[in-house]
Homo-oligomer: A and B are copies of this chain.
C-alpha cells in the first residue's frame, strides 16, 4: 500500500509525505509519486507522530465510572477485584476493542498493555490495526501453569517476535509484591531469551516500599538490583517512591520509567519525582493507566495534567515544558518500547496522526504543541495511520458502532 499525504504542516512548513508499505519512504515538497491512497491536507492539517500509550489496562474500560472517588485499597478490593473475577475472555476482547476505538480517536497508534486473556487482546489489536506490546502477565495468585502458558503463547505467536512486528510481547510480572523472586528471575530469563521488554508496576505506593523494606531489608529497586533483574529492557510504570540511591541504580541500569499522572493523582498514589529523574536524564514516557482509574485514554490531556502537576508541585513553571511531555508520549516511548517510530522521518514506521488545524482549541496558531497539550486534547485528531494503514479517516473508524453495541452487552453482564 502506498499513501501520499499532500500539503501537510510538518512543523512550520507545508510538505508531502510518501508512505510505502509500513514505512515513511519520502518527505519533501511537491512529491509526485503514484499512490493507492491520496490525502490532500490542503494546508489545513498538521502531521505528528502517532502517540504511544506506555502503560495501560485497556479492558478495564468496562469498569469506567463504576467506582469513583475512593481510596486505592477500597477501590481495588471492594470494587475492581470482585468485578474482575467475573470477566470472561469475550468481555476482555470487546472491552479492549472499545478502548482501542478511543485510543485511535485520541491519536494513539501504539500501546503497552498489561491485562488478562492475552489472546483476546492480540485479536482485538490486530483487528483494529494498532501497534501493541501485549504483556504476558505473571502473578503468583493466578492458577499454576502460568509460565507454561507464557511459553505456549510465545511459541504459538513466534512470528510476532520479528523486528517491527505490529504486535509483539512484553513479559509482564505484575509487581514485586505479587510475583515471587523465583518468578521474577524466570521472567528476566525468558525476556532475555526472546529479546523482549519487561513491563512491571514499580513503587506505585508508599505501602509497597514499606512492605518491601520489611520483607527484604531493601527498597524495591535495591531488591530488583540484587536479584539481577534490571537492564535497559525494563519499563516500570508509576515509579513514584524512589530514593536517591534507587534513582542512581535505575540510571546505571538504563531502565525506563512511565509517568501516569492522572491515575496517580486520582488514587492518591503520589507524585512522580520528575525533578530528580530529569536531572539524571532517565528516559520517561507517558501512560494513561487503565481507564477505570484515570478515566481517560487521551494522552494529550495526560500531558497537560502531567505538566501542570509537576509545575505546581515544585513551584517552578519552567520545570517541564509542553515539548517535554509531548516527547514522553512519542520519541521517549518509542525508544523505551523499541518501536522504530515516535518521529516523522524517512525510514521510520508510518505511524502518523493528522491534526485538524481548524479546531477552535488550536486558535490562534502560535504554537501547535502547546495548543495541543494545554488547550486542545485528542479531539483535534482527524486521521490516524498506523503501520502504513489508515485506521481513522476524518474522524471515522470502521466498526465503531458495532463495537460499542457489543461492548454494551458485556457491560450489562457485569
Find out whether the CB atom of A375 lies under 8 angstroms from the CB atom of B62.
no
Contacts of A312 in B (CB 8 A): 264-265, 268, 270-271, 309
Tell me the minimal C-beta distance from A380 to chain B in angstroms. 9
Contacts of A366 in B (CB 8 A): 63-66, 411
Complex interface: stretch among A143-151, A195-203, A243-251, A357-365: A357-365
Q: Give the residue of B316, B364, B374 whose beta carbon is less than 8 angstroms from that of A408.
A: B364
Find out whether the CB atom of B321 lies under 8 angstroms from the CB atom of A69.
yes
Interface residues of A in 266-281 (CB under 8 A from B): 266-268, 270-271
The answer for the CA separation of A294 and B304 in the assembled complex, in Å, is 10
Complex interface: stretch among A98-106, A158-166, A342-350: A98-106
Interface residues of A in 66-84 (CB under 8 A from B): 66, 68-72, 75
Find out whether the CB atom of B360 lies under 8 angstroms from the CB atom of A404.
yes
The interface size of chain A toward B, counting residues with CB under 8 Å, comes to 64
Find out whether the CB atom of A266 lies under 8 angstroms from the CB atom of B311.
yes
Interface string of A370-414 (1 = CB under 8 A from B): 110011110100000000000000000000100010011001000
Contacts of A318 in B (CB 8 A): 69-71
Contacts of A358 in B (CB 8 A): 404
In the complex, A10 has a CB within 8 A of chain B: no
Q: Give the residue of B64, B69, B321 whose beta carbon is less than 8 angstroms from that of A364.
A: B64
Find out whether the CB atom of A374 lies under 8 angstroms from the CB atom of B309.
no
Q: Give the residue of B315, B377, B400 whose beta carbon is less than 8 angstroms from that of A377.
A: B377
In the complex, A317 has a CB within 8 A of chain B: yes
The answer for the CA separation of A316 and B366 in the assembled complex, in Å, is 38
Tell me the minimal C-beta distance from A389 to chain B in angstroms. 20
Q: A64-B366, A69-B320 are in contact. Are A374 and B266 (CB under 8 A)?
A: yes
Instruction: Tell me whether chain A's interface is mostly helix, strand or loop, or mixed.
Output: helix
Find out whether the CB atom of B68 lies under 8 angstroms from the CB atom of A407.
no
The answer for the CA separation of A86 and B173 in the assembled complex, in Å, is 59
In the complex, A296 has a CB within 8 A of chain B: yes
Q: A295-B374, A317-B72, A322-B69 are in contact. Are A64 and B268 (CB under 8 A)?
A: no
Find out whether the CB atom of A68 lies under 8 angstroms from the CB atom of B374.
yes
Interface string of A307-346 (1 = CB under 8 A from B): 1110110011110111000000000000000000000000
In the complex, A256 has a CB within 8 A of chain B: no
22 A-B contacts (beta carbon < 8 Å): A61-B363, A64-B371, A65-B375, A66-B367, A69-B322, A71-B318, A72-B317, A102-B361, A265-B308, A266-B311, A266-B317, A270-B312, A271-B312, A294-B374, A294-B375, A296-B361, A301-B304, A305-B305, A309-B312, A364-B408, A366-B411, A379-B379
Binding site for B on A (CB under 8 A): 61-66, 68-72, 75, 98, 101-102, 105, 262, 264-268, 270-271, 291, 294-296, 298, 301, 304-305, 307-309, 311-312, 315-318, 320-322, 358, 360-361, 363-367, 370-371, 374-377, 379, 400, 404, 407-408, 411
